[in-house]
Structure 1
Amino acid sequence: MPTLRGKTVFITGGTRGIGRAIAVKCAQNGAQVVVAARNIDSSTVVAEIQAAGDQAIAVSCDIQSEEQIADAVQAAVARFGGIDIVVNNASTLVLKPTAEISMGEYDLMAAINTRGAFAVVKHALPYLRKSTNAHVLTMCPRPQLESKWFAQNTAYAVSKFAMGMMSFGLAAEQKPFRIASNALWPFSTIDTDGLAECGNTKFQSRPRKPTILADAAFWIITQDSSAFTGNFCLDEIVLREAGAVDFEQYNSVPGTALVDLSQDHLIADDQLARLAELRQLPRD
């Protein structure tokens, strides 16, 4: 079975929701975990991660500040001796058309979703290059030039697709150093505080739990970094191709049929086609 024993995982936005679920999953599988977030309750987060199986620290870090990012990376290295895996989970969402969004809201998404993720990788690179199986995992969709994704929320789509371009670019740039860079995105909406605050009843009705992304993320970051890189992964596809059969465990509303899940946006058509194909395969 794959393990993260002895590996240090640095997760942004790791104190709640998806980031917290990934942090706990990594700890359960032997990792030393560093959760970096602007608003942290270190007592509860660290206690939960440590209870899951290993060592953890929480570091206060506003992802908009390069200085705080650099300090957080150095805190991780000082505590655990290096960094093997970076999970770029921190993100902000403002679903407004151009006429309604403020420049402050636009700048916030650019600073966190795009610039912040890039700065975290930049400061972690010297340590990732020393790892025997280094990974960067960015929570973003595959970039797509399809008008349907830009028609209502241009600024948000631009920021998330820019993260995807960064992820893909890093895979090419860091391949000589055997640092993998992959992206992960959910098929369904995910039951988090952010979803509860978005105000979209269609998105909120039948989401999945964050654990589906944690399980998919774990599979990705335990692959051979020299072989599995440059991919745009969809959570359910990752898990089905890895042999998973129990998806009921991820439903926030028990008994939700696959066709009734609240589907997320920014998913490519060929990913939906592949998922439909996998769902038809006979299962033991």
Structure 2
Amino acid sequence: MSGTSNETGDIGGTRFAGRTMVVSGGSRGIGLAIALGAARQGANVVLLAKTAEPHPKLPGTVHTAVADVEAAGGKGVAVVGDVRKEEDVARAIDTAVEHFGGVDVVVNNASAIATEPTEALSAKKFDLMMDINVRGTFLLTKAALPHLRKSTSGAHVITLAPPLNMNPHWLGAHPTYTLSKYGMTLLSLGWASEYADAGIGFSCLWPETYIATSAVSNLADGGDLVKSSRSPEIMGDAAVQILSRPPAEVNGQCYIDAAVLADSGVTDLSGYGGGDDPILDIFVDGRVS
């Protein structure tokens, strides 16, 4: 099987009909790819993001993302807000309940990255990563939990965070960013235990390789890096596979996108781009595909 949505039968399906997903930071990139993957299966999607107006260096807005969701076959609502702000997060969850009757899936996608050495990293960037990555994940999940408990269609919380890798290389490469991403992972693993009897599947998803997002293309050598990066659709397709499984099966698991697709029978990933030797992502020591 090939590794594109068109060839895996995900276009125009109804697997997610009636299910409502809330995505943080879903204006573009991986968050939007996950939203579109679910929308192709008929999902309702609420997108919480800050970009209400076009940005000179970033493609799309939360409003264009909703248009993309609806063009893909789902229903979408935009919420302009900041995942760091409790009132904005509450508004996103309230919007999902008002428009679609509840929340079945949360995608903790919003994230900030700064990889400067410790002595060069500003306190402002430290706070930004902790506030978006850890606090934002906490706030959105907490606000959704009462509604996830009521879901009758398979409640899931997917957090875009890596498996815990204690390789000293990753611990020392960018300690603060590592702390913030591992913090997201630890929250997910903690909730998997705390809510083990609630019927909610808490899982993490991380890319095997660089993904061709704005975060990569805006780097100094972004043009070359994008050529060796897979498209965001691989994360969207992997997320759909996870969300199609019973919550208990995925609860407490940390997944790599290529491994999820391999388990689903997708072994040819060439359709996602990146060339013959795509760049391994941060926190990944070796290939799984």
TM-score scaled by structure 1? 0.90
Question: Following superposition of structure 1 onto structure 2, how do residues 130-145 of structure 1 map, counting pairs within 5 Å?
Answer: 130-132=150-152, 133-145=154-166
User: Distance in 1 between the 2:127 and 2:63 partners?
Assistant: 31
Matched, 1:55 2:55: no
Higher relative contact order (CA 8 A, sep 6+): 2
Q: CA deviation at 1:98?
A: 0.6
Partner of 2:199: 178
Matches within 5 A, 1:31-50: 31-40=43-52, 41-50=61-70
Point out 4+ residue stretches in structure 1 off by more than 6 angstroms. Answer: none
Please state if 1:266 is matched with 2:288.
Answer: no
Q: How does 1:95-244 map to 2 (within 5 A)?
A: 95-132=115-152, 133-199=154-220, 203-244=225-266
C-alpha contact 1:32 1:54 (8 A) present in aligned 2: yes
Contact 1:87 / 1:136 at 8 angstroms: preserved in 2? yes
CA positional deviation for 1:145:
2.4
Retained in 2: the 8 A contact 1:203–1:263? no
How far apart, in 1, do the equivalents of 2:220 and 2:109 lie?
Answer: 21
Tell me by how many angstroms 1:43 deviates.
Answer: 3.7
CA 1:174–1:153 in structure 2 vs 1: closer, same or farther (change >3 Å)? same
1:68 Cα deviation from its structure 2 partner: 0.9
State whether residues 204 and 262 of structure 1, in contact with CA within 8 Å, keep that contact through their aligned partners in structure 2. no
Instruction: State whether residues 2 and 222 of structure 1, in contact with CA within 8 Å, keep that contact through their aligned partners in structure 2.
Output: no
Cα distance in 2, alignment partners of residues 172 and 203 from structure 1: 38
Answer yes or no: is the 8 Å Cα contact 2:50–2:81 preserved in 1: yes
Q: Which residue of 2 aligns with 1:7?
A: 19
Cα deviation per residue 1:131-183 (whole Å; 9 max; x = unaligned)? Answer: 12100000000123221012231110110011111111111111111111000
3-state SS of 2:197 partner? helix
Query: How many angstroms apart in 2 are the aligned matches of 1:159 and 1:17?
Result: 20
RMSD over aligned CA atoms reads 1.6
TM-aligned CA deviation for residue 73 of structure 1: 0.9
Pick from 55, 68, 71 the counterpart of residue 91 of structure 2: 71
Aligned residues: 267
Give yes or no for contact 2:21–2:44 (8 Å, CA) kept in 1. Answer: yes
Q: Is the 8 A contact 2:51 2:62 kept in 1?
A: no
Q: Which moved more, 1:219-228 or 1:8-17?
A: 219-228
Q: Look up the match of 1:246.
A: 268
**What CA distance in whole angstroms lies between the structure 2 residues aligned with 1:231 and 1:66?**
27
Q: 2 CA distance for matches of 1:155 and 1:110?
A: 9
Q: Does 1:81 pair with 2:101?
A: yes
Instruction: Please list the CA deviations of residues 228-262 of structure 1 after superposition, one character each: whole Å capped at 9, or x if unmatched.
Output: 2111100001101110133111005xxx21xx211
Q: Which runs of 5+ in 1 are unaligned?
A: 280-284
Deviation at 1:200, TM superposition (A): 5.5
Provide the C-alpha distance between the structure 2 equivalents of 1:78 and 1:54, rounded to a whole number of angstroms: 17
Evaluate the alpha carbon distance shift between residue 195 and residue 250 of structure 1 in structure 2; reply closer, same or farther with a 3 A threshold. Answer: same
SS in 2 for 1:240: helix
143-152 or 236-245, which moves further after superposition? 143-152
| TM-score, scaled to structure 2 | 0.88
Assess if the C-alpha contact under 8 Å between 2:209 and 2:281 holds in 1.
Answer: yes
Name the CA distance, whole Å, in 1 between partners of 2:20 and 2:147. Answer: 10
The answer for the alignment partner of 1:20 in structure 2 is 32
User: Deviation per CA, 1:23-59, whole angstroms, max 9, x where unpaired?
Assistant: 1111100100111111133442221111110211011
Alpha-carbon distance change, 265 to 2 in structure 1, aligned in 2, over 3 angstroms: farther
